Amino acid sequence: MAHEQVFGLLGRKLGHSWSVPIHTALGCRDYRLIELEPEALPAFLRNTNIGGCNVTIPYKRDVMAYCDVIDDTARDIGSVNTLVRRKDGKLYAWNTDAAGFCYMLRRAGIDVAGGKVVILGSGGASLTAQAMCRHLGAREVVVISRSGENNYENLSRHADADIVVNTTPVGMFPGNGAAPVDLAAFPACRGVADVVYNPRRTALLLQAEALGIPCTDGLPMLVAQAKAAEEHFFGAAIPDSENERILAQLRQETANIVLIGMPGCGKTTVGEALARLTGREAIDIDQRIVQTAGRSIPDIFARDGEAAFRELERRETAEAGKLSGKIILTGGGVVKDPRNYASLRQNGRIYHLTRNLDALPTDGRPLSQETDLAVMWAQREPLYARFRDAVIDNNGTVEDTAAAIWRDFCAHSGD
């Protein structure tokens, strides 16, 4: 009796992977994560039932020794990420990351032709990026590694770089907030690509956004390479439109809905209504602070002062912002620390709830009780404006407000 074919992603640590939902959306219901230690790799690759496997860190080069037929592009690149055991018993290999990488750049409007490209990292993804940038007509391709001739200590020699590509895991979940380089080192930069896809916006991409530089995360590459891999798995063409359909679906499922606004503007009640409407979990930052501190917020203010509270708020906001597919409810003053913007923006679309000042309650809100709300609004409105993606009026019913947010989110979560 024939054994069931194996489909999945082969790697060492795969807890962060989004490959299963992508391949499921492409129709491969049996796709799974296959975590193996190096010593288990040879036995797995001798398996006669490999239907189709993708390969990720750290095995993209290691598997080549076990492949019978390697596609010319993959051989030229020096790494593979797609394996299929065909009916002739041979193990065939391709590098579909190549197609994914080109799709990612094209979709973001980043043209490397004639330009100087700096590639951060020297692993398997770097090999693909190097080969494809040369294929696309880059004038010069420079690889930055920790110990190579071109390294992070002498970036200044490449200040004329036009395009920066990050192929390292720096900034990837759960190491959110780290950046491999400061883009200030590349004043001529006109495009930034980061192969990391969780978070949606790494610190590198947030800086590119702030500088007005066209940029992209790695999810379009991941989706496009998966489509190309599925074509090899099953020997059938898949329409290119599937890339955008699945990308939009994943963006909507994984992006956070973030609510900011004045104390008492209705973030908690609107968040609860959104949770009912969407089936998503609502994460209340203030509640997390109370749980962590073991004390009420008025007590923290009274005994430790506002600065101590803001530090607790910053830490809890950083942790909540790493999550995906949640509703995040913030305190009214979260916008006072600019560092919170990166935490909330990295995976989220930020909604500023507004309500008439005379309708804002002040009970249990230390700063609201001590301050004229009109003065607080005047101070905070520019900060809310700096954080927000959209303004939502909350002077009507909670259900209407939640519905308005969800409509906007469904329309713009892929932005």
Q: Which residues sit opposite 353 in a β-bridge?
A: 261, 392
Nearest residue to 98 via CA among 74, 123, 122, 134: 74
DSSP class per residue in 40-80? GHHHHHT-TTEEEEEE-TT-TTGGGGG-SEE-HHHHHHT--
Q: What angle do CA 60, 62, 66 make, to 5 degrees?
A: 110
Distance, in Å, from the CA atom of 398 to the CA atom of 405, rounded to the nearest integer, reads 11
Distance, in Å, from the CA atom of 301 to the CA atom of 296, rounded to the nearest integer, reads 9
327, 278 in Cβ contact below 8 A? Answer: yes
Compute and round to an integer the Cα radius of gyration of the chain.
Answer: 24
In the set 60, 116, 267, 326, the catalytic residue is: 60
How many Cβ atoms sit within 10 Å of the Cβ of residue 35? 14
> Does the CA dihedral 299-301-304-307 come out positive or negative?
positive
Q: In Å, how far are 22, 37, 38, 251, 337 from 62, measured between CA atoms?
A: 25, 12, 9, 32, 46
How many Cβ atoms sit within 10 Å of the Cβ of residue 110? 22
> 105: Cβ–Cβ under 8 A, 6 or more apart, which residues?
111, 112, 136, 191, 193, 216
Active site residue 267: no
Buried b (16+ CB within 10 A) or exposed e, 246-269: bbeebbeebbbbbbbbbbbbbbbe
Half-sphere exposure of 206 (CA within 13 A, CB side): 23
| Residues recognised as catalytic | 60
